[in-house]
Structure 1
Amino acid sequence: MERILCAEALKRSGITVEVAGWVHRVRNLGGIVFIILRDRSGFIQLVRDSEFNLNLESVIRARGKLSDNAKAPGGREILLQEYEVLSEAEQNLPIAVNQDPEVLGLETILDNRMISVRNPKLLSIFRVQATCIRAFGDFFRGEDFTEIKSSKIIGGGSEGGTNLFSMDYFGRTAYLAQSPQLYKQTMVASGLERVFEIGHAYRAEKHETPRHINEYVSLDVEMGFIDSEKPLMEIERDFMAYLFEVIARENQSDLSAWNATLPNPDSCAKIPIITYEEAKGIVKKGSGTRVIDINPEAERILCDWADREMGIPMIFINEFPRRKRPFYTYPIGQKTMSFDLLFRGLEITTGGRRINDYSMLKEALPKFGMVESELGSYVDIFRYGCPPHGGFAIGLERITQKILSLANVKEATLFPRDRKRISP
């Protein structure tokens, strides 16, 4: 007999089926044993009138007849006829996987990540994250973007040489890539014009905050033949609407597990765009204090303002000062054609138009304490004809965190890496 999933079994009745999965919970009620079996699709209840002595998380294959029972999860159960032990778990699980993870501390969850990720509520985070990845690829392929994969071992910094993880590379010093920025620009100039990448990025920043990790997944976009940052914001608006629509359709049970709500996809068309100076003015009015920069508290105030004014807790900020953007950002005097997208009080995207003119690039380098020789062959992109272009990057873990309203970005990171954690 061929195995079927628990969710599929719940749609049937009165037939004999075979299911397989993990023993999630066992209740012995004086001669009748109820076993909750878990697989990738959900749960089903098995009923047995004799002893069942397997430990939780043991993996079994079970066969029995489906029977209607309004009190059983999903309204049906399997009257267990026989089962085979595929892998018996030891006693004393290091962490309970059949309880609400909110009773556990984050460090306990992460210290026991190999087992804690079996918890259905925790696992639901990464189902949502998988949808984000797939939706990103599907959307940009549909907009005629080509997917690329660039090297994560590089010879120098992508953004001026700071916050780099160094490594020995056959007797030479190499670094882990902060971003695929230079490679994205190369491929725009190659003639592909529109490219995207889904890949890891690394930042050697000594942060201890709920919003930072040192290894993260970056959803990167770069597109040619634009004259400002505005087309980038427009296409990101369209993507966010598409993303919310797909998650609402495909991850409703995962959202429910966290009591999470999504913005209405139609409201993404109303995401406001304000300048950096306008943002500081709104924050000053909301906080009553002088604003020097857009800090985390300011980001929360701005998203609350956007929610009140436009009905969506998202806001674009553009025209950042040149000193706050990388060397390759296209300048307008002391401002830049750049932007951030904030969502529920957190910056999830940074982007903008890039410098594409060789002479302008050479002029910019000394202002950032850089010399052309540090960039190696990167400058060839501009010496030999590069269209006006720009792009942005979305932090996968951050957007997952905010979709589910999680307290810490590490909760949305499968195996987080920070200043202290390099395992499991």
Structure 2
Amino acid sequence: MLKRAVATLTKESSGENGHSKTPSSVSATGETTPNGPPSAKSTIDSHSGGSETPDKKWRLSHIFSGHSLPGTRRSTSRAGSLDEPRPSAVKKAQRIEEKERKAIEQEKVKERIALLRKQSDLRAAQIETPDQRARYGEEYPPEWNKHHDEWANISTICDDAQIGDTVTLRARVHTIRDVSSHLVFIVLRQQISTIQAVLAEESEVITGHMVRWAKRLPLESIVLVRGKLQKPREPITGATTQQAEIKVQQLYLITAPKETLPFNVYDAELVLKKGDDVDSDHGVESDGEGPSHDENHSIERHEGAVISQRVRLTNRIVDLRTPTAQAIFRINAAICNSFRSHLDKNGFLEIHTPKLQGGASESGSSVFMLDYFGRPAFLAQSPQLYKQMCIASDFKRVYEIGPVFRAENSNTARHLTEYTGLDIEMEIVHYYDAIRVIDGMLKSIFTALRDNFKPERELIKRHFPHEDLVYPEDTLILPFAQGVRLLKESGYVEEDGSIPKEDEDLHTRAEIRLGELIKEKYNTDYYILDKFPSSVRPFYAMEDKKDPKVTNSFDIFIRGQEICTGGQRIHDIEELERKMHRLSISPKGMQEYLEGFRLGAPPHAGCGIGLERLVMLYLNLGDIRYGTLFHRDPRSLPLQKNDADELRHPEASTNPPPWKHPRLALKADAESELRDMQPLEKLIANYGDASNTAWLDDRYKVWRHPDTGAAVGYSPFKGYAMIIGDPLCDKTQLTQVVSAFLQFIKKDAKLKPIWMMVCEEVEEILGGRLNWCSLSCAAEERVEDPAKNPARHDPEIQKKVRHARKEGVKIQDYSLTEDVPEDVIRETNERIEDWRNNRKGEQVHMTDVHPWRDMSHRVYYIARDSTNKVCAMVVLHQLSPQHGWQIKWALDFPGAPNGTIEHVILHALENNAGSKMTFGASATSKLVAKHGLSKVTTKWLTKAYNSLAEHNRLTNKGEFRQKLGAVEDRVYICYPRHGLSPAGIQAIIGFFKQ
């Protein structure tokens, strides 16, 4: 394959003709993808070692690689064995093996490609005329800037009258179709509009090198194109502009992505297959074929990779480029414009109220508290109080579009902690005056969306299928009590078996069911529930004069979910104060609000609408985050702590590194002194966790980031890079360091990465940004405060400690500032050798026992029995200030009195009261799938893990540590999708048993 690919590229670079497809296709990013079938000689056995049987290795590989398992029949040949795979599944595993084998060949091909391209560029510079060279490249004619306002918009190219016109436009490269060495199709994109551009070799005008240069343009590059509009032979089905295409005459690269894209917009826009789960274990992989084309060179869509919601939202900038996202936010903007336009025409005044408030919640919801120059303040949950103050100020009718903050820990598809509120307040004569105005405003929005945004709605429907909103001319207004009766009559009950009550609010599930019943009975998706019970409304809601149990308040629903809450407010100060007193609401911080009512306020009413929820429900997006530019929910804003001020060794910082630190530069004796990388031992003490201390072992290599000095430890093992622990760097540098390290592993080390024992921040980069598979079956066993150690009160452990003391066990401490005497080291080494010789069975571990390395960051506790013989040792290793200390080794030597190790560990913990501790990572009782693994996959993976954990007694350590006060803090195993073969599974197990 390698020889054929290189031969083909050589032929192309020399300008030879050829129309046949090459065995390997080269994508726009320069990656070569083999198309040939896997070798029939490649089997699971040929790539695996050890005692695992082929079927078991296949199943573990299939599970870890993010696949659901096909149906199998149970084997009864041996107890506890895993099911045998079908022949088709074995072939699939073989293809994965073959793909991994070819990865090395592909790297060689790419290196050869780069060389050939340089040679081709040099030849082109020698043979092309100045006019030909000026038609492409990275510098366009400067005079074009004078007429940039005449550059075309793709959306306006729509009729035959423009055929033959010359157009200039700037757009992104959406996708590229390499037809032959003389012809390439490029789909250009501007927001939601796309058009096909055709670049063909043309004697004396367009050279073959220009065509090849265009093929290599990275996807999502911004280019400037000039060409002539021509009519395609047939309508182009893969672009929004179907009746015209551009025959390219000039093409210039404005800018290109400097980092590898987590996914490309073209793949993200492919229509999902029916029933696909966007959060399943589908990978973002190309099949190497690209989009299909017929002889009329129209670009067609194909069923491609499914990109999970997490990957989309983590890489929001790329996701927002998709035409679907662009259309969603056009709808979002249109709602705001229609809201504002309708209210302006009806005598409303736009206002902007403060978002910092001195009082807490006016509605009982949780609030975000702030320090306001030493005084407490709160982010406004709504503009409600200030809207009412404006009415008391005779503004008559007001509205606002602004942020709303809710400190509610609700991780659901319909809640945000910050959203945009569309709020109205108005003077009224009767309660229903407000309902008529609000109803009319919403219907004006729906009508505007229906009449003016059909292309956007149709585009969104392809990814979020839904029917157009049904709303009658006369809006259904249903009393709350009647809605509850509808539910009861239908036989609806809550999940706990309870029946909805007329004096309690409806749960979301009940609201959705009521929406279904109303759609069946009244044929409407849009309706109003009126007269809510007083018990579920805020203190300022006006009670119905005829029935004080209900209020003059309402909710408006579309598709069975609430989009708007509103009603009449209490305007009489005495009534308002009585109700506040009855509900135990303090007037503290609300005096300014109450003052408006003391001065006299007219009867008034209003409402609040959640913009993002309205967008979600109108378009049936399924999750409110899709309708939010950059969502804020309880998981947003992860801690990005800069530990520079707390580092144990500030001179070994990575942010900035020593050679960029101005104070250190002044103290340095020579420039070479500053360019030396920070010592690994000091980096561990600055940024490290327990897993990082393993890097001091001989079997680990340590990669260093040239710009920051950050470190990553890995161990090459059977073609894999076994990476253990987080990068040693400031948290703000994680993404940069991870990206650079993976480039090194792929291009220089030529290893397949498996990254283990990483924290949530690193998993978020690997799983969320890079779309790797991730799971957790291990956790750091942390003791937050040894002074509160429950083992001090555990009868069983205390009995052991008392026995050790009775047997005469004494403990000698060696602090950071004390040297361990040579004779103690020698004697302890002899006991360590006894301990090694006494171990039985297979051992599973990350690190060997080398206690005397990096002694400047270690504390030693050595126990001696009544004969003064060393009988146990506990070693603490200093970690980052965030993690404290690791109990690196706790060794109970042969012949030690019962209870010795418990005695020494408790002694070490008590001596470090107030410091955080970790025992290091140990296996957890349950496996948790984090990203890229479906429910079926997780089920089978759990079964395999349970069998492995039981066989190797992996959870024994964790159970013992928990008795000593340890709490689990999960760490993760991450690997590229489809990046783990049977050999990979064997490599992981073999690595830990090595």
Report percent identity of matched pairs.
Answer: 32
Matched, 1:42 2:190: no
SS in 2 for 1:336: coil
8 A contact 1:221–1:393 mirrored in 2: yes
Pick one of 35, 42, 57 that aligns with 2:220: 57
Q: Work out whether residues 229 and 244 of structure 2, in 8 Å CA contact, stay in contact via their aligned partners in 1.
A: yes
The answer (yes or no) to whether the contact 1:303–1:345 under 8 Å persists in 2 is: yes
So what's the TM-score if we normalise by structure 2? 0.41
**Residue matched to 1:328:** 540
Aligned partner of 1:6 in structure 2 is: 154
> 1:197: which partner in 2?
400
Please, which runs of 5 or more residues in structure 1 have no aligned partner? none
Residue of structure 2 aligned with 1:354, choices 562, 565, 569: 569
Q: Could you tell me which of 350, 356, 367 is aligned with 1:147?
A: 350
Match of 1:301, as an amino acid?
R
- The residue number in structure 1 matching 2:235 is 71
Separation in 1 of the partners of 2:564 and 2:526? 11
The aligned residue for residue 291 of structure 1 is 500
Partner amino acid, structure 2, of 1:245: T
Structure 1 counterpart of 2:248, which letter? L
> Does 1:222 find its partner at 2:445?
no
| Residues in 1 aligned to 2:422 and 2:491: alpha-carbon distance in whole angstroms | 33
Deviations for 1:170-193, whole angstroms, at most 9, x for unmatched residues?
222211110000111111121220
Alignment-derived partner of residue 116 in structure 1: 319
| Range moving further from structure 2, 370-379 or 79-88 | 370-379
Cα distance in 2 for partners of 1:154, 1:16 equals 58
Paired letter, 1:271: T
Q: Could you say which residue in structure 2 is the equivalent of 1:403?
A: 618
Provide closer, same or farther for how the CA distance between residues 131 and 109 of structure 1 changes in structure 2, counting only shifts above 3 A. Answer: same
Alpha-carbon offset, residue 100 of structure 1: 4.0
TM-fit CA distance, 1:168 = 1.5
Cα shift at 1:36: 0.8
SS, match of residue 43 in structure 1: strand
TM superposition shift of 1:41: 5.6
Partner Cα distance (1:115, 1:88) in 2: 13
Once the two structures are superposed, residues 347-387 of structure 1 have per-residue CA deviations (whole angstroms, 9 ceiling, x without a partner) of: 10000000001111111111221133441211111111100
Provide the residue aligned with 1:164 in structure 2: 367
Q: Who is 1:246 aligned against?
A: 448
Cα distance, 1:414 vs. partner?
1.1
Q: CA deviation at 1:98?
A: 1.2
Secondary structure, aligned partner of 1:92: coil
Superposition RMSD on alpha carbons, in Å? 1.8
Distance 2:262 2:329 in 1: 21
Asked if 2 retains the 8 angstrom alpha-carbon contact of 1:23 and 1:38, the reply is: yes
Q: Which amino acid aligns with 2:511?
A: E
Taking a change above 3 Å as real, the CA distance of residues 170 and 288 of structure 1, as seen in their structure-2 partners, is closer
Which runs of structure 1 show a deviation greater than 4 angstroms over 4 or more consecutive aligned residues? none
Equivalent-residue separation in structure 1 for 2:447 and 2:480 (angstroms) = 30
Structure 1 residue 400 displacement after superposition: 0.4
Select 1:312's aligned residue among 500, 511, 524.
524
Equivalent residue for 2:381? Answer: 178
Quote the offset at 1:84 in angstroms: 2.0
Deviations along 1:217-264, one digit per CA (max 9) or x if unpaired, are: 110000102332x22222222122211111112221121123243335
2:477 paired residue among 267, 273, 276 = 273
Residue 343 of structure 1 is matched in structure 2 by 558
Indicate conservation of the 8 Å contact 1:226/1:390, yes or no. no
Contact kept? 2:469, 2:618, Cα under 8 Å: no
Contact 1:5 1:41 in 2 (8 A): no
Query: Relative to structure 1, is the Cα distance of residues 211 and 162 closer, same or farther in structure 2, using a 3 angstrom cutoff?
Result: closer
Which AA in structure 2 matches 1:291?
P
DSSP 3-state at the match of 1:348: strand
Give the Å deviation of 1:14: 0.3
Q: Deviations over 1:254-294 (max 9, x none)?
A: 211232433356x1x33321222111111112234321441
Query: How far, CA to CA, are the matches of 2:385 and 2:328 in structure 1?
Result: 31
How far apart, in 2, do the equivalents of 1:217 and 1:272 lie? 27
Letter paired with 1:7? S
Letter in 1 for 2:169: V
1:63, distance to aligned residue in structure 2 (A) = 0.3
Distance 1:160 1:245, change over 3 A: closer
For 1:287-338, what per-residue CA distance to the aligned partner results, in whole angstroms no more than 9, with x for missing partners? 3432144111221122222222322112211211212111111012121111
SS of the equivalent of 1:182 reads: helix
Per the TM alignment, residue 140 of structure 1 is displaced from its structure 2 partner at its CA by 0.8
Distance 2:586 2:156 in 1: 63
Cα distance in 2 for partners of 1:252, 1:261 equals 13
Contact 1:314 1:344 in 2 (8 A): yes
CA distance in 1, matches of 2:364, 2:512: 30
Alpha carbons 2:541, 2:551 under 8 Å: kept = yes
Matching residue's letter, 2:252: E
> Structure 2: which 5+ residue stretches go unaligned?
1-146, 201-210, 270-277, 279-305, 494-498, 639-768, 770-994
Residue 80 of structure 1 is matched in structure 2 by 248
C-alpha change, 1:288 and 1:171, in structure 2 (3 Å) is closer
Under a length normalisation based on structure 1, what TM-score does the superposition of the two structures give? 0.95
Count of equivalent residues: 421
Distance 2:350 2:264 in 1: 40
Distance in 1 (alpha carbons) for counterparts of 2:189 and 2:380: 39
Q: Identify which range, 282-291 or 128-137, moves more after superposition.
A: 282-291
For residue 448 of structure 2, what is the amino acid of its counterpart? V
Residue matched to 2:184: 33
| Aligned counterparts of 1:16 and 1:109: Cα–Cα separation in 2 | 37
Q: Does 1:368 align with 2:560?
A: no
- AA aligned opposite 2:591: G
Q: 1:416 to 1:166 in 2, by over 3 A?
A: same
Q: Which residue of 1 is the match for residue 604 of structure 2?
A: 389
Cα distance in structure 2, aligned partners of 1:75 and 1:100: 24
Amino acid at match of 1:81: Q
Task: State the alpha-carbon separation in 2 of the partners of residues 407 and 263 from structure 1.
Answer: 15
In structure 1, the residue matched to 2:174 is 24
Distance 2:378 2:533 in 1: 28
Give the conservation status (yes or no) of the 8 Å contact 1:9–1:17. Answer: no
Shift in alpha-carbon separation, 1:32–1:205, aligned structure 2, 3 A: same
Question: Any conservation in 2 of the 1:158–1:179 contact (CA below 8 Å)?
Answer: no
CA contact (8 A) 2:484 2:500 kept: yes
1:33 aligned counterpart, secondary structure: strand
How many angstroms apart in 2 are the aligned matches of 1:216 and 1:287? 36
- Is 2:297 the partner of 1:129? no
Q: Return closer, same or farther for 1:160/1:132 CA change in 2, 3 Å cut-off.
A: closer
Does the C-alpha gap of structure 1 residues 208 and 199 become closer, same or farther in structure 2, counting only changes over 3 Å?
same
Q: Equivalents in 1 of 2:434, 2:469: separation in Å?
A: 20
Structure 2: how far apart are the matches of 1:334 and 1:161?
A: 19
1:35-65 deviation line (CA, Å, top 9, x unaligned): 1111136111111022212101111111011
